[in-house]
């Protein structure tokens, strides 16, 4: 993809544009993501840091030493997860941007933290937390 897509939170207080790397939807099953959004964080990767039209309502939560989560302070929408030392590494909530019918579900991460009470039927690549962290450290492209 090369054309920017427009995205927003549920109430529209936070609006942004982003160029997506592709329309491969990923799911993160880590405990933080599940607590943050009530289930796995379904996301698409940005090709670069999104550009905010209005970020007055944007909240940033420092969720670890290396990453932060962005959300709307007004409606509470979970919007993005990004690396602190690489602001171009951004996972955008899949429902915050329009995706075409070509979008597909490709990857599940932190599969070792997924609770037993749900499963996806899709045949996807699956990575444990340690496998994902090793991929990040080696610079491997995961999406």
What is the structure's pLDDT at 133? 86
> Which structural domains are found in the chain, ordered by start?
5-138 (2.170.150.70)
Backbone phi, psi, residue 37, to 5°: -125, 5
What is the structure's pLDDT at 19? 97
User: What percentage of the chain carries pLDDT values higher than 90?
Assistant: 85
User: How do residues 16-37 score in pLDDT, each as one tens digit?
Assistant: 999 999 999 999 999 999 999 9
3-state helix, strand, coil in the chain (%, to 5): 15, 40, 45
What is the structure's pLDDT at 143? 67
pLDDT at residue 137 greater than cutoff 90: no
What is the structure's pLDDT at 59? 97
Q: How far apart are CA 72 and CA 11, in angstroms?
A: 9
What is the structure's pLDDT at 31? 96
Which two three-digit tokens encode residue 92? 């955008």
Which two three-digit tokens encode residue 25? 């939807």
Task: Quickly list DSSP for 11-55.
Answer: SSSSEEEE-BS-SEEEEE--HHHHHHHSS-EEEEEBSS--EEEE-
The H helix count followed by the E strand count for the chain is 2, 11
């Amino acid at each position: 993809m090369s054309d920017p897509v427009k995205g927003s939170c549920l109430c529209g207080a936070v609006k942004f544009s982003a160029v997506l790397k592709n329309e491969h939807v990923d799911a993160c099953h880590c405990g933080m993501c599940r607590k943050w959004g009530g289930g796995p964080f379904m996301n698409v990767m940005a090709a670069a840091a999104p550009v905010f039209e209005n970020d007055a309502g944007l909240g940033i939560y420092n969720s670890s030493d290396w990453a932060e989560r962005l959300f709307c302070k007004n409606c509470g929408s979970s919007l993005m997860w990004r690396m602190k030392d690489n602001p171009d590494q951004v996972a955008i909530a899949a429902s915050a941007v329009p995706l075409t019918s070509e979008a597909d579900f490709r990857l599940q991460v932190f599969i070792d933290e997924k609770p037993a009470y749900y499963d996806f039927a899709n045949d996807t690549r699956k990575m444990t937390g340690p496998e994902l962290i090793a991929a990040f450290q080696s610079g491997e492209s995961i999406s």
